Structure 1
Amino acid sequence: MTKFVAWGRYCEDVLERRAPHRQAHLNGLAAQKDQGLLITIGPTKDLRYFFAIYEADSEETVRQLIENDPYWQHQVWTDYSIHEWIQAL
């Protein structure tokens, strides 16, 4: 399995827009973690960006995980990028 980092941007009114989708978002992340796909994820303190580390068989798998997330589907996340990552330590 390959490690990938993903980072992206939240919408301007993130607190209001995420509220109706937050529990479904968190449930999905917990399922990804239980499956061993998601290592960690979280927002920056200013709620402008998110950062995640995944372990998956391909970049396409990570893309599907992100794009199936309620935050992406409801434009809470507005853009993202994925990069293969080499963990040095």
Structure 2
Amino acid sequence: MAKYILFGSYCDNALEKRTPYRQAHLEGLGKQKEAGILITLGPTKDNTKVFGIYEAETEEIVKNLVESDPYWRNNIWTDYEIKEWIQAF
């Protein structure tokens, strides 16, 4: 399976604005991790960017996961880019 990286941005005041959606966000990520699709995901220390690594059959699968996340649906994540990644080592 291919690996994909996610780069994205958070809205202003994301720490406050994410509160109502955080539990559902974390539960969804947990399910993705259990299924072996999500390798890792998290914010930068300044909480302005999000970075993730996925392993999936297609980029479309990753896109659907991102766009169904409560953070995307509620504008906590404001943009994102997915790129297929070649793990050199």
TM-score (norm 2): 0.99
The alignment's C-alpha RMSD in Å is 0.4
Output the CA distance in 2 between the equivalents of 1:45 and 1:16: 15
Stretches of 4+ moved more than 3 A in 1?
Answer: none
How many residue pairs align between the two structures? 89
* Residue number in structure 1 paired with 2:69: 69
Gaps of 5+ in 2: none
TM-score (norm 1): 0.99
Gaps of 5+ in 1: none
Percent identical pairs in the alignment equals 57
Output the CA distance in 2 between the equivalents of 1:5 and 1:16: 26
1:31-81 deviations in whole A, cap 9, x for unaligned?
A: 000000000001000000000000001010000000000000000000000
* Residue number in structure 1 paired with 2:57: 57
Output the CA distance in 1 between the equivalents of 2:17 and 2:70: 11
